[in-house]
Amino acid sequence: MRKLLALVLAMLALVAMMSFAVAEEPLTLTVMLPDFYTDVDFETENNPVLDAIEAASGVRLDIQWVANSSYGDMTSLTLADPDNMPMLMVATGARDPIIVNSARAGAFWDITDYIKDYPNLAAGSEGIYNNISVDGRLYGIYRSRAQARGGIYYRKDIAAQMGITEEPKTIEELTALAKALSDYSDDTYALNMVKYVAGTIGIITVAHGAPFNWGVNAEGQIYPAHQDPAFLEGLNWLRSLYAEGGINPDFMTIESGEWDSIERTGKAFMRFDCMDNCYRQQEWFEKNEGVTEEIWAMVPAVAAADGNMYMWPQNAGYSGEIVITKAVKDEETLKKVLAFLDWTNSAEGQTLINWGVDGETFWIREDGFRYTNPADDVDMSLQVQTLQHSLNQLGTNVTGDLTPAMKLTTLREEYNSYQKSMMEYIVNDPCHPLTSETYNSFGTTLSQMLEDAHVQYIAGIINEDELRAVWQAWSDEGGAMMTMEYNEAYQASIAK
């Protein structure tokens, strides 16, 4: 009897083992992502979002969250320990020397030849794939971002009080608007500027017709943007507004964190920045100041002297990329990982990655729109952050936005419409996909040198001759070398 029992047990054990071997183990994917909610713990067990992702894609995510503020440091630490790398990681700067060098050293899978087999990934923009490539090879999937985000927004109620009711269409009308806003009162300023000036200077110089960072001249050669006469016109625009008292005289000492509050306290009425801030400010005023009318207006671009519109690109079409590291050991696993990334770009994948599960982390209400809570007076943010956390950082969305729509205000709708309609006016940086050794070594110091001189010129500390002297010094200290390197790389890339 006992022998029989032992035999049965042994048989049962064998069957159990066999059944385990037959059922395919889901692939556990280790991922490193930036964490924007460091004060909330992510739920790893019994998380309906992770379960839903596993059920739909056959992949179990094992996520290592890294505080966004220290993500850059953590990237280099992670890459310094090849045995413990995650299989997937977000590289926040695709052109950072650390990422470029690691790609060249073989830290990531070269996916150039695989991508065509995955329909969603292949649907991504070729130009943006080119922007993130290293030496012509592709090492990641870009995280798609709208390019037509940067523009002008201002307080239209103040402008109306000063007699301007039309939105500016040309540079002259913009000048008139700035003048009117500047005259409103002695304690307030027209243009809201802070320590971070790259966006403001970029928007106004590009609007005047200057290239963005680098341009290509009539002979097909690369030249730095500040050598374009339109660039100086843009700087002069800011310089004369500053001289008239239209800009806070201390703007270069104000931290970027103050930017919003300057508008909220009514100290300044216009800003050259991402236009999504326009509807955010409108919504803030509605919520906190009891404003019922639309008091903010946005203008994506105005016509330059030649009559054309030029729009500053807020980014190069992406914000970082997802790379597959060599922690993925074989080609078979690589294909599974690529299939997973392909799935995250399907409508189902995008919804799960960006918003989570209906009824748990987002809610489709009766009107058919997506909300962050089931009803207006319910705060579900803690639950959303616990379950969904910053999972959207894994979203690449190269197929566009396929997720359930939110209900839009007029300003939000206007903003969204510009992202398509303004694309043709975007001025791109021809050197973005190219590498320059000098840029990698001295780039930060050289850009700083230019930016400082431009701020000093705007603030009237230095004159045009002194500004030209700094441009010459920039050229001598590595700028000329950089131009040459970019030019060589550019000529090589168009010859291909």
Q: Which range of residues in 135-143, 306-314, 385-393, 445-453 is near another protein by CB under 8 A?
A: 445-453
Contact with another protein (CB under 8 A) among 42, 63, 95, 102: 102
Q: Which range of residues in 24-32, 161-169, 418-426, 453-461 is near another protein by CB under 8 A?
A: 453-461
Nearer to another protein, 41 or 250 (CB): 250
Nearer to another protein, 217 or 444 (CB): 444
Q: What is the DSSP letter of 137?
A: B
Q: Which range of residues in 44-52, 55-63, 96-104, 271-279 is near another protein by CB under 8 A?
A: 96-104
Is there binding between residue 232 and another protein (CB under 8 A)? no
Dihedral pair phi/psi, residue 154, rounded to 5°: -155, 170
Contact with another protein (CB under 8 A) among 79, 121, 193, 398: 79
Q: Which range of residues in 69-77, 297-305, 313-321, 347-355 is near another protein by CB under 8 A?
A: 69-77
**Alpha carbon 326 to its chain's center:** 26
Question: Do 398 and 345 form a contact (C-beta atoms < 8 A)?
Answer: yes
Task: Determine the residue type at 355.
Answer: W
Q: Which range of residues in 28-36, 349-357, 398-406, 435-443 is near another protein by CB under 8 A?
A: 435-443
DSSP string across 387-412:
HTTTGGGG---TT---SPPBP--HHH
Contact with another protein (CB under 8 A) among 455, 467, 485, 490: 455
Question: Do 402 and 349 form a contact (C-beta atoms < 8 A)?
Answer: no
Is there binding between residue 90 and another protein (CB under 8 A)? no
Is there binding between residue 80 and another protein (CB under 8 A)? yes
Dihedral pair phi/psi, residue 3, rounded to 5°: -60, -40
d(CA 208, CA 235): 10
**Contact residues for 225 (Cβ-Cβ < 8 A; gap 6+):** 205, 210, 211, 212, 213, 214, 215, 231
Q: Which of residues 238-277 bind another protein (CB under 8 A)?
A: 248-250, 252-253
Nearer to another protein, 168 or 234 (CB): 234
Is there binding between residue 161 and another protein (CB under 8 A)? no
Long-range Cβ contacts of 435-441 (<8 Å, 24+ apart): 435/95, 435/100, 435/134, 435/135, 435/489, 436/482, 436/485, 436/486, 436/489, 437/485, 438/478, 438/481, 438/482, 438/485, 439/482, 439/485, 439/486, 440/97, 440/100
Is there binding between residue 30 and another protein (CB under 8 A)? no
Is there binding between residue 469 and another protein (CB under 8 A)? no
Binding site for another protein (CB under 8 A): 72-73, 76-77, 79-80, 82, 96-98, 101-102, 104-107, 195, 197, 248-250, 252-253, 440-445, 448, 451-452, 454-456, 459, 461, 473, 476-477
